[in-house]
Amino acid sequence: MSIAKPLKRLVSAVILDLDGTLLHTDGIVSDVLKAFVVRYGKQWDGRETQKILGRTPLEAAAAVVEDYKLPCSADDFLTQFTPLLYDQWCKIKVLPGANRLIKHLSGHNVPMALASNSPRENIESKISYQQGWMGSFSVIIAGDEVRTGKPSPEIFLEAAKRLNVKPSSCLVIEDSLPGVTAGKAAGMEVVAVPSIPKSHLYTEADEVINSLLDLQPELWGLPPFEDWMEGALPIEPWHIGGPVVKGFGRGSKVLGIPTANLSTKGYSALLSEHPSGVYFGWAGLSSQGLYKMVMSIGWNPYFNNTEKTIEPWLLHEFDGDFYGEELRLVIVGYIRPEANFSSLESLIAKIHEDRRIAERALDIPMYSQYRDDPYLKGSSL
């Protein structure tokens, strides 16, 4: 959760990292790596993700070659691997909140730079698929344009120089540990948006937030977002569905709040792309109808779960259970990050507050229009 420390240093420019901060690059890299190591009779298990986050391509290649004992050099690996990756860049998803942030800052004429360990050519290719991004950054600095990449501060210092602002007037937004280290070493303010649920490792950062949706620019003296309304934030709608499965059996028992869990199998890509948090939208339940819904996605910090779960509470009194029935969700708004609570009562009170926010919001046309989403009626509604 965002820990709002009231006193921040005021900034006048923002420097953004690209992969993992604005773009969900990991998803594509993992897909291509998975297919690649098979060529050498190996099986990709995702254990390198942590090591390659925020590294230069050569460092990342060396880590994979070493760990998988591939019979090639890191250079050979890159020569073979890079073209495969290039082909997939048009498919990289934009992380939730990235377009909103870029539009907001450029709309308010906040000077913006992009500073990435990726080579220039890769950066330009990746952002060419994103409308309006190229023109929003007055400065772009790539890993091959400095002597040493992050965690060295060089890339950020060069960005500040070209933006013509002091390093101390820059706010860096970063998902990776090397990026956070680089930003602090450059004497900048750093907001970390970890792409993995390991925020306790990000102690150097001035603030750790769960997703770009939680950024509060006004804490740094930048113009505030104006799209929050009565505790709800509109998001680009997305869908998820499947049969209702058994959860931990504590929703109704412990909290008095039943949640019709969906299986996370087959949804790992979709779930890794969407930050954990409390969301709302519409739910279509195959035989029964259409309902308002408020849900949490994540690790339920109060219960310290190890698995990311999908917990939708349908805002309706049902006569009984409906395990096994097809449940389809369209998720249209965001409320808050998942949090921990000092007591069960305070968790329950917060979830009831979430429900009130969702119920009210879903009556507004901006959100109510999605009750007609054909996906909800895909089953037998």
Closest CA to 132 of 90, 104, 91, 152: 104
The first and second tokens of residue 125, run together, are 């290719």
The yes or no reply on residue 309 touching Mg ion (CB under 5 A) is no
Closest CA to 351 of 258, 234, 262: 258
| 26 vs 354 by CB, closer to ligand RBF | 354
Catalytic residue among 154, 311, 354, 373: 311
The yes or no reply on residue 258 touching ligand ADP (CB under 6 A) is yes
List the one residue from 247, 264, 270, 370 that touches ligand ADP (CB under 6 A): 247
Please state whether beta strands 233-243 and 189-192 pair in parallel, antiparallel, or not at all (unpaired). Answer: unpaired
Catalytic residue among 17, 48, 189, 206: 17
**Closest-approach residue to ligand ADP (CB):** 251
- Which residue stretch of 260-268, 278-286, 298-306, 373-381 sits at the interface with Mg ion (rule: CB under 5 A)? 260-268
Shortest gap between Cβ of 376 and ligand ADP (angstroms)? 16
| 40 vs 318 by CB, closer to ligand ADP | 318
Q: Is 338 within 8 Å of 296 (Cβ atoms)?
A: yes
Sign, CA dihedral 340-23-50-116, equals negative
DSSP state of 227: -
Q: How far apart are CA 170 and CA 284, in angstroms?
A: 46
Sign, CA dihedral 19-24-29-30, equals positive
- 311 noted as active-site residue: yes
Catalytic residue among 19, 48, 206, 354: 19
What residue ranges in the chain does DSSP mark as E strands?
13-16, 112-115, 139-141, 170-174, 189-192, 207-208, 233-243, 277-285, 289-298, 309-314, 326-336
- 17 noted as active-site residue: yes
The first and second tokens of residue 183, run together, are 């930003």
The yes or no reply on residue 300 touching ligand ADP (CB under 6 A) is no
**Helix or strand or coil: residue 334?**
strand
Please state whether beta strands 309-314 and 289-298 pair in parallel, antiparallel, or not at all (unpaired). Answer: antiparallel
Q: Which does 302 bind (CB under 5 to 8 A by kind): Mg ion, ligand RBF, ligand ADP, none?
A: ligand RBF
Q: Which does 321 bind (CB under 5 to 8 A by kind): Mg ion, ligand ADP, ligand RBF, none?
A: ligand ADP
Q: Which does 354 bind (CB under 5 to 8 A by kind): ligand RBF, Mg ion, ligand ADP, none?
A: ligand RBF
- Burial (CB count <10 Å: 0-12, 13-18, 19+), residue 363: exposed
The yes or no reply on residue 251 touching Mg ion (CB under 5 A) is yes
Q: Which does 174 bind (CB under 5 to 8 A by kind): Mg ion, ligand RBF, ligand ADP, none?
A: none
Q: How far apart are CA 151 and CA 180, in angstroms?
A: 8
First to last CA, the chain: 37
List the one residue from 210, 261, 276, 300 that touches ligand ADP (CB under 6 A): 261
Beta carbons within 10 angstroms of residue 213's beta carbon: 24
The yes or no reply on residue 234 touching Mg ion (CB under 5 A) is no
List the one residue from 119, 243, 251, 378 that touches ligand RBF (CB under 6 A): 251
Residue window 313-352: x/- pattern of binding to ligand ADP, with contact defined by CB under 6 A: xx-x-x--xxx-----------------------------
The yes or no reply on residue 247 touching Mg ion (CB under 5 A) is yes
The yes or no reply on residue 231 touching Mg ion (CB under 5 A) is no
| Active site (catalytic) residues | 17, 19, 311
Chain contacts with ligand RBF (rule: CB under 6 A): 247-248, 250-251, 255, 257, 259, 278, 294-296, 300-303, 311, 313, 338-339, 347, 351, 354
Chain contacts with ligand ADP (rule: CB under 6 A): 244, 246-249, 251-253, 258-261, 313-314, 316, 318, 321-323
